[in-house]
Amino acid sequence: MSAGTLYDKVWQLHRVAELADGATQLFIGLHLIHEVTSPQAFAAIRELGLGVRHPELTVATVDHIVPTSSQARPFSDPLAEAMLATLERNCSENGITLHGLGSGRQGIVHVIAPELGLTQPGMTVACGDSHTSTHGAFGAIAFGIGTSQVRDVLACQSLAMAKLKVRRIWVDGALQPGVYAKDLVLHIIRQMGVQKGVGYAHEFAGPAIAALCMEERMTICNMAIEGGARCGYVNPDATTFSYLKNREYAPKGEAWGKAVAWWSALASSSDAVFDDEVLIDASRIAPTVTWGITPGQGIGVDEMIPQLDQIARAERPLAEEAYRYMDLKPGSAIAGVAVDVCFIGSCTNGRISDLRAAAAVAKGGKVAAGIKAFVVPGSEQVAKEAEAEGLDQLFRAAGFEWREPGCSMCLAMNPDRLEGREISASSSNRNFKGRQGSATGRTLLMSPAMVAAAAITGCVSDVRKLLNNPN
Amino acid sequence: MDNIFPSGAITKISGKAVVLSGNDIDTDRIIPARFLKCVSFDGLGAQVFADDRKELNKGAAGFHPFDQPEKQGAKFLFTNQNFGCGSSREHAPQALMRWGIRAVLAESFAEIFFGNCLALGIPCVQVEQALILELQALANEATNPNFVLDLASSSISSEGCSWAIELEKGIQQMFLSGRWDGTAQLIANNEALNKTAAALPYLNNLWA
């Protein structure tokens, strides 16, 4: 039983009641919604004759279905247009703030809430999207929910939840140049598998985590769910506070100092008890790439795709399925695998620091012949910042397309998708079968810098070599 | 297709079982993202496992389990580890439910999927590996036997055999009482909810 952790403290603060069957009713401090998982929830509360209990605590944006080439209305896809129109109507009828297209604040829900300062330490954050774990980077308890639970949050700003166990993932050492937060989280999932996190909140801590900026911490927490943990978090510290200061929804004036003091006290105590602990050494991690069909099937870019006898017996059927689906040869190098499409973006890696890292690799280079490469900023703010720095020009000059913000080819609910057996180098979070819009399409997950390296060279390449030998 | 969705107390489920072997079957596979372009869950039943079914039905290996003629109308799904991992989309259990599934037995479940099923009145029962393999083998026999899940006595039975299953007590009570449909309970605690909200520093500028 964990005690004295940030998770315990935030849980206690938000506990409303113990329910008849052992679950806890938990208050939700920030509810984020988008067009895909909310329409049926609004329909359900209407059917029940209920209103939205706390419209001021729900914030909406549109991200999953928006086209990234032209966002002119109406969208050419009538289904996408109907979804956005439904969200607009639900928000206006219920007094919910919607950060819509062209507002300057639209973007992927897990990008905009942090950048607006909506996400703060000590909150409970829920959203009908599994990557809600992203917001844990601020020391919030943030988790994905289904549509029936979206209905419950709309109706009563709370959820029936079972308390999770807490596992501390202590990351020692420091990431080497050319190795990014994405590599760290892919490495953690490779080490722990995709199931170990089920039933746990993951606290990411240790010197390597403390050294990460907020955007890097978001990348780590974003993919907690890929290791099975519905919720991941980092204790708030000076890095957190300096990111939040002066953001639109952050406390201001006299409240700021008091908020910082309150936030600081939420961090797990030095004598906190964890249900489990895992130790990771950051200094030995190489740029990491997935070769299979789960985010746990990853290897260092300098390694060979594992042979069946190198894989734990229980994992072998899945490995065999991955060999067949990916059509990659066990025992061969992952470096040099040719790619067709290069995608930089998503709630995992669509923030300004991600675009800067990719731009540093793309600068002065040229996308290899026959490769489609595109950059999708995570939000209108990210796009604006990148354009002010000239990153859009840099990417365009190198042969990348520069797109409008949205979820794009992470899950291909918009026109951006793989065709047939195409293989992508992708900065997103899931390499599941069919994930990027083609039932036979293939995905190699990697950092944005590694995606840029793949775009320039035409194949999976060790970004450290490109950084050492600039164009 | 059975259009009577779960409601009220759920004590017993009876029907054929469809078998999906494999670990880490994610919700993108259960319902590919393109089918999420909708504002209602109606119609998702026909799309469950759409891509897997299309791929398998093309080959010589025979029908996907959800297309086997003898499995039409099945109420149970028997599968393996970490079923329903990945995306939180409730469209996944909605698609399974609208196809006809009323209970899932597996070695383990992804957490969000488990909660989504609970909210729909679909029991997810975690069973030992040895038992799920036995049940899968039995369901795949030519006789295509019927199974009965008894939530009150915590057992699954078929053709005169019965196996004990472990249900978490709270979850069991939710199904037996009908409280799995829990919105009313949450609404009833209005006063406690207001009290919790009033004490949260970040909602009230009460930093201390």
A254 within a domain of the structure (yes/no): no
Instruction: Say yes or no: A427 and A461 in one domain.
Output: yes
A39 within a domain of the structure (yes/no): yes
Contact B36 A64 (CB under 8 A): yes
**How many beta-carbon pairs under 8 angstroms link A with B?**
207
Domain extent for A36: 7-161
B194 within a domain of the structure (yes/no): no
| Average pLDDT in chain B | 95
State the Cα–Cα distance between residues B119 and A267, nearest whole angstrom.
Answer: 33
Place of tokens 């793949």: A454
Number of domains chain A is built from: 3
Structure-model confidence comparison of residues B61 and B114, the more confident one: B114
State the Cα–Cα distance between residues B25 and B31, nearest whole angstrom.
Answer: 11
3-state helix vs strand vs coil in chain A, percent to 5: 40, 20, 45
Q: Give the minimum alpha-carbon distance from B14 to chain A in angstroms, rounded to a whole number.
A: 25
B125 within a domain of the structure (yes/no): yes
B204 within a domain of the structure (yes/no): no
What's the CATH number where A205 sits? 3.40.1060.10
pLDDT recorded at residue A471: 52
B23 within a domain of the structure (yes/no): yes
> 3-state class of A251 per DSSP?
coil
- Taking the Cβ of residue B110 and every Cβ of chain A, the question of whether any pair is shorter than 8 Å is answered with yes
B3 within a domain of the structure (yes/no): no
Choosing among B107, B112, B116, B167, which should be mutated to test the A contact, i.e. which has the most A CBs within 10 A? B112
B111 within a domain of the structure (yes/no): yes
pLDDT recorded at residue B57: 84
Where does a domain end: A102, A132, A161?
A161
Contact B193 A158 (CB under 8 A): yes
- Taking the Cβ of residue B174 and every Cβ of chain A, the question of whether any pair is shorter than 8 Å is answered with yes
A18-43 tens-digit pLDDT: 999 999 999 999 999 999 999 999 99
Where does a domain end: A161, A183, A212?
A161
Which chain A residue is nearest to residue B129, measuring alpha carbons? A314
Instruction: Say yes or no: A318 and A427 in one domain.
Output: yes
A251 within a domain of the structure (yes/no): no
Contacts 24+ apart (CB under 8 A), B162-168: B163/B131, B163/B134, B163/B135, B165/B105, B165/B125, B165/B127, B165/B131, B166/B126, B166/B127, B167/B123, B167/B125
Give A453's pLDDT tier (boundaries 50, 70, 90).
very high
Instruction: Say yes or no: A228 and A143 in one domain.
Output: no
SS3 letters for chain B?
CCCCCCCCCCCEEEECEEECCCCCCEHHHHCCHHHHCCCCCCCHHHHCCHHHHHHHHHCCCCCCHHHCHHHCCCCEEECCCCECECCCCCHHHHHHHHHCCCEEEECCECHHHHHHHHHHCCCEEECCHHHHHHHHHHHCCCCCCCEEEECCCCEEEECCEEEECCCCHHHHHHHHHCCCCCHHHHHHCHHHHHHHHHHCHHHHCCCC
Choose among B29, B88, B109: nearest Cβ to A129: B88
Q: Give the minimum alpha-carbon distance from A229 to chain B in angstroms, rounded to a whole number.
A: 8
A163-207 tens-digit pLDDT: 999 999 999 999 999 999 999 999 999 999 999 999 999 999 999
Give residues 121 to 160 of B whose Cβ lies within 8 Å of A: none
At B38, give phi and psi (nearest 5°). Answer: -165, 160
Number of domains chain B is built from: 1
Q: Which of A285, A297, A284 is nearest to A445 (CA)?
A: A297
Contact A159 B54 (CB under 8 A): no
Identify the helix (H) or strand (E) that includes residue A127.
strand A124-127
DSSP state of A146: -
What's the CATH number where A149 sits? 3.30.499.10
Give A122's pLDDT tier (boundaries 50, 70, 90).
very high
- ipTM for the whole predicted complex goes beyond 0.90: yes
Where does a domain end: A128, A161, A194?
A161
A162 pLDDT exceeds 90? Answer: yes
Contact A228 B169 (CB under 8 A): no
Instruction: Say yes or no: A85 and A230 in one domain.
Output: no
Q: Which of A6, A5, A23, A24 is nearest to A15 (CA)?
A: A24
A-chain residues near B37 (CB < 8 A): 65, 77, 79-80, 83, 413
B-chain residues near A255 (CB < 8 A): 205, 207
A263 within a domain of the structure (yes/no): yes
Instruction: Say yes or no: A278 and A333 in one domain.
Output: no
Which chain A residue is nearest to residue B197, measuring alpha carbons? A27
**Identity at A359, one-letter amino acid code:** A
A375-410 tens-digit pLDDT: 999 999 999 999 999 999 999 999 999 999 999 999
State the Cα–Cα distance between residues A91 and A42, nearest whole angstrom.
Answer: 10
> 3-state class of A333 per DSSP?
strand
Instruction: Say yes or no: A82 and A195 in one domain.
Output: no
Give A363's pLDDT tier (boundaries 50, 70, 90).
very high
pLDDT recorded at residue B208: 64
Domain extent for B74: 12-179
Instruction: Say yes or no: A53 and A121 in one domain.
Output: yes
- Taking the Cβ of residue B193 and every Cβ of chain A, the question of whether any pair is shorter than 8 Å is answered with yes
What's the CATH number where B28 sits? 3.20.19.10
B89 token code pair = 């989309």
B2 pLDDT exceeds 50? Answer: no
Instruction: Say yes or no: A193 and A136 in one domain.
Output: no
B137 within a domain of the structure (yes/no): yes
Omega of the bond leading into B93 within 30 degrees of 0 (cis): no
A240-252 tens-digit pLDDT: 999 999 999 999 9
A363 within a domain of the structure (yes/no): yes
- Taking the Cβ of residue B64 and every Cβ of chain A, the question of whether any pair is shorter than 8 Å is answered with no
pTM: 0.97
Place of tokens 């129109």: A85
pLDDT recorded at residue A156: 97
At A101, give phi and psi (nearest 5°). Answer: -60, 130
Contact A147 B90 (CB under 8 A): yes
Angle at A116 between CA A113 and CA A121, to 5 degrees: 65
Instruction: Say yes or no: A147 and A169 in one domain.
Output: no
Contact B207 A29 (CB under 8 A): no
DSSP state of A248: T
A249 within a domain of the structure (yes/no): no
Instruction: Say yes or no: A296 and A432 in one domain.
Output: yes
User: Do residues A438 and A419 make contact, with C-beta atoms less than 8 angstroms apart?
Assistant: yes
Instruction: Say yes or no: A146 and A264 in one domain.
Output: no
Give B1's pLDDT tier (boundaries 50, 70, 90).
very low
Evaluated on CA atoms A179, A267, A57, A161, the torsion sign reads: positive
A252 within a domain of the structure (yes/no): no
- Taking the Cβ of residue B37 and every Cβ of chain A, the question of whether any pair is shorter than 8 Å is answered with yes
Instruction: Say yes or no: A155 and A80 in one domain.
Output: yes
Contact B115 A122 (CB under 8 A): no
Least confident of A133-137, A428-432, B38-42, B203-207: B203-207
Q: Is A120 left (phi over 0), alpha (psi -120 to 50) or beta?
A: beta
State the Cα–Cα distance between residues A126 and B194, nearest whole angstrom.
Answer: 19
A354 within a domain of the structure (yes/no): yes
Burial of A242 from C-beta contacts in 10 A (0-12 / 13-18 / 19+): exposed
Choose among A146, A160, A198: nearest Cβ to B108: A198
B1 within a domain of the structure (yes/no): no
**Identity at A207, one-letter amino acid code:** P
Q: Give the minimum alpha-carbon distance from B47 to chain A in angstroms, rounded to a whole number.
A: 13
Which chain A residue is nearest to residue B205, measuring alpha carbons? A255
**Which whole number is the average pLDDT over B101-111?**
98
